[in-house]
Structure 1
């Protein structure tokens, strides 16, 4: 009797090496698997620890196996091959490795029992009919083992396929579920923006932008709002303005509809640009339709100790703008007109063009105005080629979507904002980031 051991990284690999050598040396009938054990070994100077499986086999003397006719190498090789069959890992993945190893362990133990019976039968040197009976019995056991292996492998394959299908179904269900959440979140975003007075064009552009982002963004409303803010800030025109060193001109002219607070806002700007910095200034009111001087602007000019001029004709305006003077700033107020009065706007535009003097023109609008009305105002006053938009009455509205929508569509910078009636308080340089954050709270 001879004993040999075979090592492998797995239990199956150790057993396979035993069978491979037995087939190669044509002694499969004389080889019997005794036991399979595992042990740990350290490699790379003790830095790496591996598990090694060892299969121990006994090899009978060939003379004792002469009577064996049916337990051929081909039959046992077929058993070994069937025991090693597994479904393709590329199709079913590696999530069921533990299940497969258990099945193979059971198969190997069954094979060992059959081989043990063959060894006992042969070592007894049975003769005649008794030997034939034992051989037939051995063939039946091998046939039974084959049926067992087929059944176990079929069950294993079915289990792995079902598990794979279950995983795929779960993935598909998760995709469908995420898609439904994303759809609902986009609908929520549209309603959220609509409630905050954003117009349809801006809402459409924001939603289309969000749709093209990564899917995980669409599952989180906070992320959606963050991306909406980023989109708006990147598409609004920005302008650096300094009150200490205002660089857009000395002839500052305000235009806009009636009731938006042009006169008070003009005085606030004058107080910040001139009065607080000891700059000489003057005020001009262009109003061809009102009888008498503008009492509000005249009163403020008196308080600021600045001259006040009321203009009724184009010649008066030209004469005043071209006379020699030492005023650092000229603040010009205009009559409030309906956006429908395009003739008046065109007439004023002709005055400014023929005057041949540079003007820093601000379109003054109220942040409480509806989106469509703001868009109409911008379109009507565009003949005046204004350079900035100035927003008033931010303290009188909860939402700034209307104002931001107008800035988005006309692509003009917002210069200043007012949020109250106090002079010179309640006036500041526009901060777009702050406005967008407040608009999307």
Structure 2
């Protein structure tokens, strides 16, 4: 007998994963609630630990599924897959695996439902970057080029944490270069009745953070800078090196940026040792080139995706399910 445990958000996810990995004869034998996250985090996320079993001789479908997950075999792709608005910018590896998936489950590729598309991606892209998540630390830093929406993203997260999770949030900016940057974040702080601090030099960082010692969470806006400006990246690093204790660093990327520039940003910003990504401006693109570039090539967690200017509404957790639902409901093409 094969026994496997899954850590999942809900029973539906467990059933889907068990079905596609172990086959339709898999049986759920136990479930319990567990807390997932770092040991010192008092707000660890609750998830389900589901134990599933299947007889060892029931392996045919499982072997076929493993071949879809692990092997690349060139097949004749139907026109519907080549032009599907979700898959048209995927690599040929993904498209060919989709053909094999449709053959295995006897599905016509032009009749895939959104749920079947989700199931396929969860099958072939296990542990993909959209399913990985960081635990929000008490201190969280946001970095990225000018114009990607860092400040608005911070406002969305601050509003969500304050209004939904009832946290006392403090806001900090070190972006004193860009005209209006301080005033923009200060306006959001005033709306949320949140404490706000401006850091003018690395020497001030520890002092200004200490002024927010009563806050449950601190969100820090950095100077927006081109990935080609190594001097400013080093300046930001000096500020970050002055932060005491553990903190998360998020690189904010606009999916409307061209693919080569995104690769350049991901590479040059490694100087700042970012921990995860936030994707913005999904409402400004009509093709999913960067979605596929990131999901197929990036291993770091993608925490959120943003799709408009409304605070706090236009932001969601960047799970595959949320992304595909958004794409299905909102993408239109010329």
What is the TM-score normalised by the length of structure 2? 0.63
For the Cα contact (< 8 Å) 2:101–2:120, is it kept in 1? no
Question: Deviation per CA, 1:281-300, whole angstroms, max 9, x where unpaired?
Answer: 22111125346761111111
1:236 correspondence with 2:128: yes
Q: Is 1:303 aligned to residue 199 of structure 2?
A: no
| CA-CA distance at 1:209 after TM superposition | 4.4
Q: Which runs of 5+ in 1 are unaligned?
A: 1-181
Higher relative contact order (CA 8 A, sep 6+): 2
Could you tell me which residue of structure 1 aligns to residue 321 of structure 2?
Answer: 433
Residues of 2 paired with 1:397 and 1:230: CA distance? 24
Among 386, 391, 401, the alignment partner of 2:274 is 386
* Candidates 391, 405, 409, aligned match of 2:293: 405
Residue aligning to 2:156: 268
CA positional deviation for 1:229: 3.5
Instruction: Say whether 1:343 aligns with 2:235.
Output: no
- 1:312 pairs, out of 200, 220, 227, with 200
SS in 2 for 1:358: coil
The alpha-carbon distance between structure 1 residues 218 and 282, as it changes in their structure 2 partners (threshold 3 A), is same
Instruction: Measure, in 1, the Cα distance between the counterparts of 2:103 and 2:167.
Output: 57
Number of equivalences = 252
Retained in 1: the 8 A contact 2:148–2:252?
A: yes
The 3-state SS of whatever aligns with 1:391 is strand
Output aligned runs, 1:31-430, within 5 Å.
184-185=76-77, 189=81, 196-198=88-90, 203-207=91-95, 209=97, 221-222=109-110, 229-230=121-122, 233-234=125-126, 236-239=128-131, 247-290=135-178, 294-322=182-210, 325-430=213-318
Q: Do the aligned partners of 1:256 and 1:336 also contact (CA within 8 Å) in 2?
A: yes
Superposed displacement of residue 437, structure 1: 6.7
Considering fraction of residues, name the structure with more helix: 1
Q: Once the two structures are superposed, what CA deviation does each residue of 1:334-382 show, in whole Å capped at 9, x if it has no partner?
A: 1211121123223322432343321111111112222222222111212
Shift of 1:251: 0.6
Is the 8 Å Cα contact of residues 210 and 218 (structure 1) preserved in structure 2? no
Deviation at 1:272, TM superposition (A): 0.8
Q: Following TM superposition, by how much is the alpha carbon of 1:255 offset from its aligned partner in structure 2, in angstroms?
A: 0.7
Whether contact under 8 Å (1:197, 1:401) holds in the other structure is yes
1:432 to 1:219, Cα distance in 2 relative to 1, 3 A: closer
Structure 2: gaps (5+ residues) = 1-73
Q: Is the 8 A contact 1:286 1:334 kept in 2?
A: yes
Cα distance change on mapping 1:193 and 1:381 into 2, 3 Å: farther
Superposed displacement of residue 318, structure 1:
2.7
Cα deviation for residue 183 of structure 1 reads 5.6
How far apart are the structure 1 equivalents of 2:147 and 2:220? 17
Max radius of gyration: which structure? 1
Q: Secondary structure at the match of 2:126?
A: helix
Report the 3-state secondary structure (helix = DSSP H, G, I; strand = E; otherwise coil) of the residue aligned with 1:428: strand
